Amino acid sequence: MVKDYSTGVLKAFDFKKLVKNIPELNQLGCRINSISFKKPIDSSNMNIAHWVNIAGIIEKEYARYDGFVVLHGSDTMSYTSSAISYMLENLDKPVIFTGSQLPIGDLRTDAKENLITSIQIAALQEGGKPVIREVGLYFEYKLYRANRTTKLNAEHFQAFASLNYPAIAESGVHLKVHHEYLLRRQGRKSLNVHTPMDDRVAILKLFPGLNRSVVKSVLACPGLQAVVLETYGAGNAPTQDWLLTDLENAIKMGIHVVNVTQCPGGSVLMGQYETSEALQRMHMIDGRDITAEAAITKLMYLLGSQVSHKSFKSIFETSLRGEMS
């Protein structure tokens, strides 16, 4: 967004004038084109249809460009970038998500640096090949693997964090890429874009005082296929008989339940404590160190791909795009 100084109102930035407004981009030595949605949206209104649109644009333009930068509101950026990482199988080029906390026209905006460096990263090559070959999220001098991120702050420029995986590049006086943390491509298969995503999913967050009617209302949602269960600490849950019974019955009815910790950092370790032994015995899916954003979008992706019920647990517990350790 950009501010109209005559009215003070925020309006959509005209990206056809991108280089004119940010002449520093001429120093990057790359050709830049832009594609915008006909009607810009607030990222709070982001949905699966928009993800499909973004993936479709990348698929259509994939052969023409060396890299892609997706400008996105910060509120749901981790969800969208995680979803896109699953949708773009065999990705061999950089897809960098970025945005800003302040509009590009503001005096103290962070948009300019984020945009310039994201384009530089998307254009970065060694030996004629892209350096980054995955979906990344760049914000406040750091490039993260997108499906490892979560938004932690609504006011600071350093809005995002990746607490379970190091930054894959950092921008300072020099742009430093941490090659040891980059996602390695397996084989030479061509890009395969998966657009079917299933929204019959839910997130159930445990909290002291959670009552049975709330749990039942979630698990009894018509057509529900999968649930992210946000547990305490290392994957722990209350041991009340009713809660364990309802969760086990849901799993027996074919609902996939994934154990994900509420903590921004750390991992689920089912069976380490008595309060998670019952979850382990009922064969709940182990989310290990995956974020809630990456977990819910992975469920949508796997359900949309019609993964068999028999293999669903093992496939979810397998890292597909570097989203879990």
Q: pLDDT tens, 242-272? A: 999 999 999 999 999 999 999 999 999 999 9
Q: Which residues contact 152 (CB under 8 A, 6 or more apart)?
A: 159, 160, 161, 264
**Average pLDDT of the chain, as a whole number:** 94
Given a cut of 80, whether residue 241 has pLDDT beyond it is yes
Given a cut of 90, whether residue 111 has pLDDT beyond it is no
Bridge-based pairing of strands 160-161 and 150-151 is antiparallel
Whether residue 293 contacts residue 78, with contact meaning beta carbons closer than 8 Å, is answered with yes
Q: In b/e form, how buried is each residue of 140-156, taking b as 16+ CB within 10 angstroms?
A: bbbbbbbbbbbbeeeee
pLDDT tens-digit profile of 191-233? Answer: 999 999 999 999 999 999 999 999 999 999 999 999 999 999 9
Looking at per-residue pLDDT, the higher value among 294 and 3 belongs to 294
Residue 13 in 3-state DSSP? coil
Given a cut of 90, whether residue 11 has pLDDT beyond it is no
Structure-block tokens of residue 79: 């969800």
Instruction: Quote the radius of gyration of the chain (alpha carbons, Å).
Output: 21
Given a cut of 90, whether residue 26 has pLDDT beyond it is no
Band the pLDDT of 29: cuts 50, 70, 90. confident
Q: Which of 20-24, 223-227, 234-238 has the lowest mean pLDDT?
A: 20-24
Q: Which of 288, 258, 256, 257 is nearest to 272 (CA)?
A: 288
pLDDT for the residue 96 = 98
- Residue 89's DSSP bridge partners are 192
Given a cut of 80, whether residue 20 has pLDDT beyond it is no
What is the C-alpha to C-alpha distance for residues 160 and 23, in angstroms, rounded to an integer? 27
Given a cut of 90, whether residue 124 has pLDDT beyond it is yes
Sketch out the chain's domains with CATH numbers. 2-193 (3.40.50.1170), 201-316 (3.40.50.40)
Claim: this prediction has a pTM higher than 0.85: yes
Q: Which DSSP string corresponds to 40-72?
A: ---GGG--HHHHHHHHHHHHHHTTT-S-EEEE-
pLDDT tens-digit profile of 172-194? Answer: 999 999 999 999 887 789 999 99
Residue with token string 């350093």: 158
Residue with token string 């981790």: 78
pLDDT for the residue 77 = 97
pLDDT for the residue 8 = 78
Band the pLDDT of 38: cuts 50, 70, 90. confident
Residue 8 in 3-state DSSP? coil
Question: Which is it for the CA torsion 241, 246, 251, 253, positive or negative?
Answer: positive
Looking at per-residue pLDDT, the higher value among 18 and 147 belongs to 147
Band the pLDDT of 23: cuts 50, 70, 90. confident
